[in-house]
């Protein structure tokens, strides 16, 4: 009897020990999941609408669970203060100007709080700091936006329906183009002409490119004119000479004009000869008389050479002339 009771006591003790061990493991497991035994800091944020957020919901940072919500209570008139517990190990990555917003764990999961890191220049967050809460877009706001978009889409559809109806009736430029075959043909010809003009412009651009390449050819005339200072100086000197020649030609033209003006006047001998017939006739008669006198004078000189008084003089003169010619030879 005593042995049986001892066995029962041992069995009960074993089951109690196993239950206690399981209880302790469960407490540590749940505490590890809730991070109950990890060092943490407390931060908070004030929201206008928490959208169903509850105590115990998770706090996430960069896609990692870093804490949970410890309390939710009202402050002021319509605002909600959310207290959070965050692991101290991530404190160095969260900065004082970090923001928080409410999100969902999955598509239809529980509400969570997501912390943005903030700028690295700001100091790290400290225990008891209040983070900046970002405004949550509520379901009502999204429905209002969707409704407004639907109204806009309906208006666009109505306008497009009216526009297509007018086009089918041949109203407006597009409708006229679709309904009037002659205008369509003219438009087709215009496009063909435009394409031809584009092709010509492209060909002209190609030719201009070839011409510019020739102009830039090393050693060419254009290259020498643009780069050789000696040739440029010579061309400049030639242009100067041409300008001087043009000036001289202009002066010569002026002088010829003045001479022609004098020839057309009667205040000089040539002008009288050219413009006064009476004086010209007198001069012609005088020249005729001089010619007749010279003929008579030649005859008199010939007769004088045969005169016995002067015959010796002319012979001596002819002989002296002949001797002078011989000496020159």
Residue pLDDT, tens place only, 246-291? 788 778 777 777 766 665 666 666 666 666 667 667 777 777 777 7
What's the angle, vertex CA 182, arms to CA 176 and CA 185, rounded to 5? Answer: 100
Our CA dihedral for 234, 237, 242, 243, rounded to 10 degrees, sits at 150
CA distance 196 to 274: 69
**Sequential DSSP letters for 164-217:** HHHHHTT-HHHHHHHH-HHHHHHHHHHHHHHHHHHHHHHHHHHHHHHHHHHHT-
Please write the tens of the pLDDT for every residue from 228-247. 676 667 777 778 888 887 78
Q: Are strands 64-75 and 58-61 parallel, antiparallel or unpaired?
A: antiparallel
Distance CA(100)–CA(215), nearest Å, equals 69
Read off the pLDDT of residues 18-37 as tens digits, 9 standing for 90 and up. 877 887 776 556 555 555 55
137-183 residue pLDDT tens = 656 666 778 788 888 888 888 877 777 776 666 666 666 666 666 66
Question: Domains of the chain: which residue ranges?
Answer: 33-136
Question: What's the rounded Cα separation, in Å, for the pair 99 and 136?
Answer: 12
Surface-to-core class of residue 191, CB atoms within 10 Å of its CB (0-12 exposed, 13-18 middle, 19+ buried) = exposed
With pLDDT > 90 as the criterion, what percentage of the chain qualifies? 8
Confidence band of 11 (pLDDT split at 50, 70, 90): confident
Judge whether residue 15 has pLDDT over 60.
yes
Q: Among all chains, which residue has been given the structure tokens 């009667």?
A: 266
pLDDT over 70 (residue 221):
no
What is the Cα–Cα distance from 67 to 25, expressed in whole angstroms?
Answer: 21
Query: Contact 102/113 with Cβ under 8 angstroms?
Result: yes
Question: 139 vs 8, 49, 51, CA distance in Å?
Answer: 63, 11, 9
pTM greater than 0.95 (yes/no): no
């Amino acid at each position: 009897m005593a042995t049986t009771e001892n066995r029962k006591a041992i069995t009960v003790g074993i089951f109690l020990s196993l239950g206690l061990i399981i209880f302790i493991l469960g407490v540590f497991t749940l505490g590890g999941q809730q991070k109950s035994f990890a060092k943490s800091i407390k931060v908070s944020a004030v929201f206008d609408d928490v959208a169903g957020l509850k105590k115990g919901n998770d706090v996430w940072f960069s896609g990692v669970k870093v804490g949970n919500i410890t309390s939710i209570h009202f402050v002021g008139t319509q605002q909600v203060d959310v207290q959070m517990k965050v692991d101290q190990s991530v404190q160095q990555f969260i900065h004082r100007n970090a923001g928080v917003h409410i999100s969902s764990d999955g598509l239809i999961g529980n509400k969570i709080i997501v912390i943005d890191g903030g700028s690295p220049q700001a100091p790290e967050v400290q225990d008891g700091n209040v983070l900046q809460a970002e405004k949550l877009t509520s379901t009502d706001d999204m429905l209002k936006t969707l409704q407004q978009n639907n109204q806009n889409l309906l208006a666009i559809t109505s306008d497009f329906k009216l526009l297509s109806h007018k086009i089918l009736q041949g109203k407006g430029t597009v409708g006229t183009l679709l309904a009037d075959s002659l205008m369509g043909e003219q438009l087709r010809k215009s496009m063909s002409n435009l394409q031809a003009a584009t092709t010509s412009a492209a060909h002209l651009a190609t030719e201009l490119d070839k011409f510019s390449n020739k102009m830039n050819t090393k050693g060419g005339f254009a290259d020498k004119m643009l780069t050789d200072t000696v040739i440029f100086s010579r061309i400049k000197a030639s242009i100067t000479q041409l300008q001087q020649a043009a000036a001289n030609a202009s002066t010569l033209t002026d002088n010829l004009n003045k001479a022609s003006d004098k020839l057309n006047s009667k205040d000089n001998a040539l002008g009288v000869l050219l413009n006064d017939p009476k004086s010209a006739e007198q001069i012609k008669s005088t020249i005729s008389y001089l010619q007749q006198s010279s003929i008579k004078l030649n005859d008199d000189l010939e007769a004088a050479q045969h005169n016995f008084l002067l015959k010796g003089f002319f012979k001596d003169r002819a002989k002296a002339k002949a001797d002078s010619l011989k000496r020159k030879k």
